């Protein structure tokens, strides 16, 4: 197997292990076992565990968000396009719960590495970039408020979604996926001045 293929296989194995066991319970031995290779092969292809986690996070982002981004980009109306990005995040499925646990664990782990490379952070930015792009499109066609700042609203939406999802993954009392979805819609309506009906 060529080195890039082996590296990708190891990163995918790490992603699967983290989704199953959590990031804190995933070490080099488990990643090697999941990839059906040796620890030496894993350390040959990656400088350290954080580099593996970073690659696994990019794979998880691509797997989870790419279908949402493609659907939003194909929708011509900015309101349903934005909802195609946000509503599936709170669908109550086991897949989304595992994703949010992965994401929360990854950012906690990244806090131990304060010099997160800009390139790495950028690769994890697929959803927020799509959100900004959709908002910009809605401002351009008059659907959203003309004075809304697309980048600022996208960043705030991302932060709001991350906060709610963290609470959901922790089982916060009184919070469920329907309420989370309604809160995000209310937030978007306040920020963008368009009607996002409760659903």
Whether residue 192 is predicted with pLDDT greater than 90 in this model: the reply is yes
Say if residue 115 is in the same domain as residue 156: yes
Domain count, the chain: 2
**Tens of pLDDT, residues 78-132:** 999 999 999 999 998 888 888 888 888 887 777 766 555 554 555 568 899 999 9
Residue 20, domain CATH: 1.10.10.60
- Identify the pLDDT of residue 116: 53
Nearest to 90 by CA among 158, 168, 163: 168
pLDDT of residue 123: 55
Range of the domain at 2: 1-46
Write the Ramachandran bin of 78: left for phi over 0, alpha for psi from -120 to 50, otherwise beta: alpha
Contact predicate 39/32, CB 8 Å: yes
The span from the CA of 15 to the CA of 11, in Å, is 6
Answer yes or no: do 31 and 58 share one domain.
no
pTM: 0.81
Give the mean model confidence (pLDDT) for residues 65-77.
95
């Amino acid at each position: 197997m060529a080195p890039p293929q082996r590296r990708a296989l190891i990163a995918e194995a790490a992603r699967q292990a983290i989704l199953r066991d959590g990031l804190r319970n995933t070490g080099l031995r488990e990643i090697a076992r999941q990839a059906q290779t040796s620890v030496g092969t894993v350390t040959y292809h990656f400088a350290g565990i954080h580099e593996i986690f970073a690659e696994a996070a990019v794979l998880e982002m691509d797997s989870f968000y790419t279908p949402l981004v493609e659907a939003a980009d194909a929708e011509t109306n900015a309101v349903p396009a934005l909802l195609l990005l946000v509503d599936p995040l709170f669908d109550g499925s086991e897949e989304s719960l595992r994703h949010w646990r992965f994401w929360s664990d990854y950012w906690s782990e990244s806090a131990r590495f304060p010099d997160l490379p800009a390139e790495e952070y950028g690769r994890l930015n697929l959803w927020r970039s799509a959100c900004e792009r959709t908002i910009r499109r809605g401002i351009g066609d008059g659907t959203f408020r003309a004075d809304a700042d697309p980048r600022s609203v996208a960043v705030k939406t991302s932060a709001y979604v991350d906060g709610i999802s963290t609470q959901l993954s922790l089982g916060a009392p009184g919070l469920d996926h329907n309420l989370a979805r309604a809160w995000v819609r209310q937030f978007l309506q306040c920020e963008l001045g368009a009607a996002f009906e409760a659903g």
